[in-house]
Amino acid sequence: MKAVILVGGLGTRLRPLTCNTPKPMIPLLNQPFIEWMLQRLHDEGVSEVILAVQYLADRFRTTLGDGSQFNLKLHIVEEPEPRGTAGAVKNIEQLLDGPTFVLNGDVMTDLNLQEMLAFHHDKRSKVTIALTAVDDPTQFGLVEMNGDQRVQRFLEKPRMEEVTTNLINAGTYIIEPEVFRYVPPNQFYMFERGLFPVLLQTGDPMYGFPSRAYWTDIGKPQTYIDVHHDILIGKVRYGFRGTQIADRVWSEGEVTIHPSAQIVGPVVLGAGSMIGRGCRIIGPTVLGPRCQIGADCNLEGGILWEGSQLGEGVTLRHSVVGRNSSIGANSLIAEGAIIGDECILGPENRLERGIRLWPGTLLGERAISF
């Protein structure tokens, strides 16, 4: 069985983390997310994967090679320009030869693909769409079905009074290649606004596959932070590399922890990390490789990418710091702040409430403080 992973989006909602790193390559528990996807597809019986790439393609090639490290055959196909979700699969149509899994590259789910495939065959479906239930359907594209689970209608971000179901498109499909005859070649074309409405008109059978599997779109800052939490508290299975060194504290290699530091899990410490005197690190927190945490820092719900440094007395809560950034002493980084790669902040800055700094930003002492 083959799978196509759509990885060509710009990941605008997750900027600045996606300025230098394509969204599917951003680290989750210090491992590029796409690696976990490939491992999972292999475990689900997939033997060949096509990555439909558009943006920062070389990053995929260098990291993933030919897929042999995942026991998969991997094709990395670059689009000449963004083709949209359906257009991207049309672009690699010649590689398809039967029902194919098509997956958004930013969805964390433990959906059972083999059960979905059995359902697809049983219904003689041409397109099967995985569905997940959400609390607030007004923010999503809803999928309405009849009693036999055949798709009847799509509703994009309806008003509350128009809501007829809480089931949304979960970004995982099984598609028979023949339906790509409806997709115009060399054009931008989407599944939700293009191909699927056409299939409703032509009468090609399209079914919904609701599931209670874990599901989240990692492509928003808050969900990116939350998914770390969910993995660390065991809500979703995600193999990570650390060895346990204390109760719910894992290290990925040699780490230096000052004896007076207090660490309350779940916490993951990247190889080569250093934690200074008097620090308090409260989980869920993840330090990338070679992070340096100065004396008396307080971290809770923080995600630090490789090589970040915190000066003395920094407080960091529910926020992300990109690669090789340095935060000056006594700064506060809190409540969804996102610091891009290679930023240098002087002492006593205060960044809160979702503030974002683009890669390479330099801030002097107290440049942002209120």
> Is residue 12 a contact residue for ligand GTP (CB under 6 A)?
yes
Applying CB under 6 A, which of residues 85, 216, 251, 330 lies at the interface with ligand GTP? Answer: 85
User: What string of DSSP letters covers 242-281?
Assistant: -EEEETTEEESS--EE-TT-EEESSEEE-TT-EE-TT-EE
Applying CB under 6 A, which of residues 16, 105, 208, 276 lies at the interface with ligand GTP? Answer: 105
> Is residue 52 a contact residue for ligand GTP (CB under 6 A)?
yes
Cβ neighbours for 306, distance < 8 A, ≥ 6 positions apart: 27, 30, 270, 288, 289, 290, 291, 323, 324
Strands 167-175 and 127-133: antiparallel
Nearest by Cα to 9 from 70, 65, 42, 51: 51
Stretch that binds ligand GTP, among 1-9, 33-41, 254-262, 347-355 (CB under 6 A): 1-9
DSSP, collapsed to helix, strand or coil, labels residue 14 as helix
CB 210 within 8 A of CB 127: no
Shortest CB 22 distance to ligand GTP, Å = 8
> Is residue 8 a contact residue for ligand GTP (CB under 6 A)?
yes
Stretch that binds ligand GTP, among 80-88, 199-207, 224-232, 325-333 (CB under 6 A): 80-88
Comparing CB distances to ligand GTP, the nearer of 102 and 304 is 102
DSSP, collapsed to helix, strand or coil, labels residue 144 as strand
Q: How many angstroms separate the CA atoms of 82 and 90, rounded?
A: 12
Sequence-separated contacts (24+) of 78-81 with Cβ below 8 Å:
78/53, 78/54, 79/8, 79/52, 79/53, 79/54, 81/54, 81/188
Shortest CB 251 distance to ligand GTP, Å = 31
C-alpha angle 236-53-85 in degrees, rounded to nearest 5: 75
Question: Is the sign of the CA dihedral 157, 218, 83, 96 positive or negative?
Answer: negative
> Is residue 106 a contact residue for ligand GTP (CB under 6 A)?
yes
> Is residue 59 a contact residue for ligand GTP (CB under 6 A)?
no
Applying CB under 6 A, which of residues 41, 46, 64, 88 lies at the interface with ligand GTP? Answer: 88
Residues 170-229, interacting with ligand GTP (CB under 6 A)? 219
Comparing CB distances to ligand GTP, the nearer of 45 and 82 is 82
Applying CB under 6 A, which of residues 1, 13, 192, 198 lies at the interface with ligand GTP? Answer: 13
CB 327 within 8 A of CB 321: yes
Shortest CB 78 distance to ligand GTP, Å = 9
> Is residue 26 a contact residue for ligand GTP (CB under 6 A)?
no
Shortest CB 52 distance to ligand GTP, Å = 4
Applying CB under 6 A, which of residues 3, 33, 34, 54 lies at the interface with ligand GTP? Answer: 54
- The amino acid at 218: I
Comparing CB distances to ligand GTP, the nearer of 57 and 274 is 57
> Is residue 349 a contact residue for ligand GTP (CB under 6 A)?
no
Stretch that binds ligand GTP, among 9-17, 199-207, 247-255, 325-333 (CB under 6 A): 9-17
Comparing CB distances to ligand GTP, the nearer of 79 and 176 is 79
Q: Residue ranges of the alpha helices (H) in 44-166? A: 57-64, 84-91, 113-122
CB 336 within 8 A of CB 321: no
Comparing CB distances to ligand GTP, the nearer of 54 and 298 is 54
Q: How many angstroms separate the CA atoms of 349 and 65, rounded?
A: 41
Shortest CB 217 distance to ligand GTP, Å = 7
Which residues would be at the binding site for ligand GTP (CB under 6 A)? Answer: 6-14, 23, 52, 54, 79, 82-85, 88, 104-106, 219
